């Protein structure tokens, strides 16, 4: 399974870049020109690995950005809820207390009417 850690991917990319430079130096030492270096299978493979690793790093960055945005949104919602919660609780308490009092009065009136 491939690593999803950004640090690991950066290390892989550095390793591939180092191997690519070593391979190019070895080919130049053998007397190869630029055309042969571009057509070399090992060079092509290393370039493909570098490209793949760069895309993986970009993917990890994108995922981190999405996660950070979601965290910020959650924090904002929590802050709003914390500000609105005391107001809502007071309103609920007032609303709950008012019908309860009316309910007692109605019961007393019903009891008096039943006694009479």
Domain spans of the chain, in order of start: 6-84
Per-residue pLDDT for 95 more than 80? no
Say which DSSP state 16 is in. Answer: H
Under the banding of pLDDT at 50, 70 and 90, the label for residue 56 is: very high
CA separation for the pair 71, 82 (Å, rounded): 16
Query: 9 CB contacts (<8 Å, ≥6 apart)?
Result: 3, 53, 56, 57, 60
> Looking at residue 85, what is its pLDDT?
72
CA separation for the pair 21, 11 (Å, rounded): 15
Residue 36 · residue 27 · CB < 8 Å: yes
> Looking at residue 103, what is its pLDDT?
62
Report in angstroms the alpha-carbon separations of 4 from 48, 52, 55.
Answer: 18, 13, 12
Under the banding of pLDDT at 50, 70 and 90, the label for residue 98 is: low
Up-side HSE of residue 16: CA atoms within 13 Å toward CB? 19
Under the banding of pLDDT at 50, 70 and 90, the label for residue 1 is: very low
């Amino acid at each position: 399974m491939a690593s999803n850690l950004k640090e690991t991917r950066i290390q892989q990319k550095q390793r591939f870049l180092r191997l690519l430079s070593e391979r190019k130096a070895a080919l130049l030492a053998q007397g190869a020109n630029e055309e042969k270096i571009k057509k070399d299978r090992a060079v092509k493979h290393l370039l493909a690995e570098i490209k793949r690793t760069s895309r993986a790093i970009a993917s990890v960055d994108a995922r981190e950005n999405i996660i950070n945005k979601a965290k910020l949104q959650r924090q904002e919602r929590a802050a709003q809820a914390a500000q609105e919660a005391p107001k809502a609780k007071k309103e609920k308490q007032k609303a709950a207390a008012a019908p309860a009092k009316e309910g007692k009065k109605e019961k007393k009136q019903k009891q008096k009417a039943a006694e009479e």
